[in-house]
Structure 1
Amino acid sequence: MLGEGWITVPIKVLLVDDHQLIRDGLRKFISLAPEKAVVAGEVASGREAVAAAVNLQPDVVLLDINLPDQDGVATLQRLRQVLPQVKVIILTVYDDEAHVLEAVKAGANGYLLKDISPDELVAALEQAAAGQTPMPPRITGKVVRELRRVSQENTHIPLTPREIEVLRLVAQGKSNKAIAETLFVSEKTVKTHLTNIFRKLEARDRTEAAVWAIKASII
């Protein structure tokens, strides 16, 4: 596992789902692109997920919401405590606002539905590993609508105009390289802006910063 903006190749993935059939399907999907991602391990419960993640140090965890011992959100919160750098993508059948928002607030790095194609899954793994936030457009729309609904007050914006520009691009899921190209600056400059943004917003990662941007209605 490497820092923000770096990707290990192939990406190490931990599968967490209590249905063997689902895990077999995900493993098969990922095996179609062995140069990009590999399954480092698979488990069927939340507690097993935390132990396996600590042991295997995956780059990305694919996590179901419904687990037999504790729900996926509780597992996600525990993973955030013990392995804050690991990327966690929720993979589920639920596309309602309540589930999506709960996962995002808990620190999910992405939210995917189980009707995803093999190519889309591998692309999402690459995006998450690179610090982006993979979500289908209809899920992104739900997040934006719900966060704006529950946050009616105008949030104070403690950022400079340039930092706001960077944050808007982060919330759009752009990588550091893409942001640098858009703003005609170096990637080092982008990383400096992100460090300042995370510090000012007390955000742990790009996902939390993007959620703040949505709540502040700056995107």
Structure 2
Amino acid sequence: MNDRRISVLIADDHSLMREGLKQILELEPDIKVISLSANGEEVIKDAQRYKPDVILMDINMPKMSGLDALRRLKDIGIDSKIIMLTIHDSREYLYETIRIGANGYVLKDADSDTLLKAIRDVDEGKSYIQPSLSELLVKDFNSRGERSKESALIESLTKREYEVLTLIAEGMNNREIAEKLFISEKTVKNHVSNIFKKIDVADRVQAAIFTFRNNIKKI
């Protein structure tokens, strides 16, 4: 039996939000909250001290924003998976967090089941993008008229790469994709590397968002 619990650091400048999230998470037998941070500077210190499995971080915080804290955590090599908490009108920050490389995105009005799934998914090495948030990104992307530019990138993918991309968007890791397609994990890794180069993304979250906004379906 696996008794491991996912350690979580919660970072939000509102005490009620921090305590509320803590109460929700601590009802789960497989999750433990190990630290609460009130601003971006505290997140950096607490992440280095406690080394949580997952950091749940608000984008808008004093002293150092969640965006700057995310960038700093990546720069200093923190291994924790990072889920950004955002609100409906924060899309201008979202594209930057995608570029920097957060592991998950959850809206602040999400229900507890969504939040728990996000934490468990990123802990397993998957990415998590709340469906309603991906819809916002798609809508914003379409309003910019950029779809035609990315059509050529999609057409550059082989049939197998296209298939692997759809499975990445489902949150599967390399091992799961290998089992699904009956190929080796090394082959999947090579496909993923080629996909990232062809569609010009840096990680699985960016690849998943690319898939959502271009309405790429399974073949």
Q: CA deviation at 1:91?
A: 1.4
Of 105, 117, 129, the residue aligned with 2:99 is 105
> Which is higher, the Rg of structure 1 or of structure 2?
2
Q: Which moved more, 1:188-197 or 1:87-96?
A: 188-197
Alignment partners' CA distance in 2, 1:106 and 1:23: 24
RMSD over aligned Cα atoms: 2.9
Residue range with higher mean Cα deviation, 55-64 or 193-202: 193-202
| CA-CA distance at 1:212 after TM superposition | 5.0
Q: 1:85 to 1:192 in 2, by over 3 A?
A: farther
Structure 2 SS opposite 1:108: coil
Q: 1:127 to 1:29 in 2, by over 3 A?
A: same
1:141 maps to 135
Alignment of 1:1-219 (within 5 A): 9-34=4-29, 36-83=30-77, 85-94=79-88, 97-148=91-142, 149=144, 151=146, 152-154=148-150, 155-156=152-153, 159-187=157-185, 189-198=187-196, 204-211=202-209, 213=211, 217=214, 219=216
For the residue of structure 2 that corresponds to 1:153, the secondary structure is helix
Q: 1:191 to 1:32 in 2, by over 3 A?
A: farther
TM-score by length of 2: 0.79
Amino acid paired to 1:11: I
CA offset at residue 16 of structure 1?
A: 0.6
Shift of 1:218: 7.5
Q: Which amino acid aligns with 2:56?
A: L
Provide closer, same or farther for how the CA distance between residues 178 and 63 of structure 1 changes in structure 2, counting only shifts above 3 A.
same
TM-superposed CA distance for 1:70, in Å, is 2.2
Q: Which moved more, 1:149-158 or 1:111-120?
A: 149-158
Q: Number of aligned residue pairs: give it.
A: 210
Alignment deviations for residues 125-162 of structure 1 (CA, whole Å, 9 cap, x no partner): 01111232222221111223334536342454665432
State percent identity of aligned pairs: 40
Moved more, 20-29 or 87-96: 87-96
8 Å CA contact 1:95–1:139 kept in 2: the answer is no
Deviates more, 1:58-67 or 1:90-99: 90-99
**Unaligned ranges ≥5, structure 2:** none
What letter is aligned with 2:117? A
Q: Which has the higher contact order (CA 8 A, sep 6+)?
A: 1
Secondary structure (helix, strand or coil) at the match of 2:82 reads: strand
Contact 1:54 1:83 in 2 (8 A): no
SS in 2 for 1:166: helix
Shift of 1:95: 5.0
State whether residues 12 and 37 of structure 1, in contact with CA within 8 Å, keep that contact through their aligned partners in structure 2. Answer: yes
Structure 1: stretches of 5+ with no match in the other structure = 1-7
